[in-house]
Amino acid sequence: MTDYSALYADNDTMTDHWWWRPGWRVGTRFYAWHITQDDQPEVRDLAQRYREAVSAVGTLDPIPDEWLHMTMQGVGHVEDINVAALDYVTLRVAGRLRAMAPITTSYRRAHVTSEGVMLPPADPEAFTEVRRAIRAGITDALGECPEPEDGFGAHVSVAYSNADADAAPIRAALDQAEPAAPSTATYTQVSLIRMHRDHRMYEWDVLRAVPLGD
């Protein structure tokens, strides 16, 4: 069983999130599965509450509502996956997700990671199970799945760190903004996206929206 308390433990210091990962540069396009937050008003309101709390922190890049998301699973670089393969991935993932159910969860306390501020769901294991289903569908289609299975901690990021910084004042500001009651969300689908980070933000087009359950 994953130790989520360790995955969601606050960091004392922060560092730049925007270093270029291997294979990434301006112009890179990448396929991935995300859960977007377009239809989650309470999550967006909570994100705004925390964005306002840390708005004076110059080492944080706040994430606008339209780019709020929960990262689930990468598929691969656009140039490495042809249309037929991507369609087959979508078909096999959709088949796996039909066996799942929509997820109702809640968010409240923001956490400080080494590279940003994020909101963990109250029941992260439910999202881990969805990710396992996505990974199984990708493996069905491609014979393998990129990225390690271990170490996944579902979260919606609120801001990314753009420099080395002391996390203590950020933690204090978030504590002052913590709401009295949690925000709730019900997720009924997962999206296949084509994403990039050309502008120091993850931006994307939604290619497919696959339902959880029948």
Domains in the chain, number: 1
Q: Is the pLDDT of residue 2 over 90?
A: no
pLDDT tens readout for residues 166-189: 999 999 999 999 999 999 999 999
Match 């014979």 to its residue by tokens: 143
Q: What is the pLDDT of residue 58?
A: 97
Q: What is the rounded average pLDDT for all residues in the chain?
A: 96
Question: Domain limits at 145?
Answer: 4-211
* CATH code assigned at 139: 3.90.1140.10
In this structure, the number of other CB atoms found within 10 A of the CB of residue 138 comes to: 25
**How far is the C-alpha of 49 from the C-alpha of 33, rounded, in Å?**
27
Per-residue pLDDT of 12-25, as tens digits, reads: 999 999 999 999 99
In this predicted structure, what is the pLDDT of residue 5?
Answer: 83
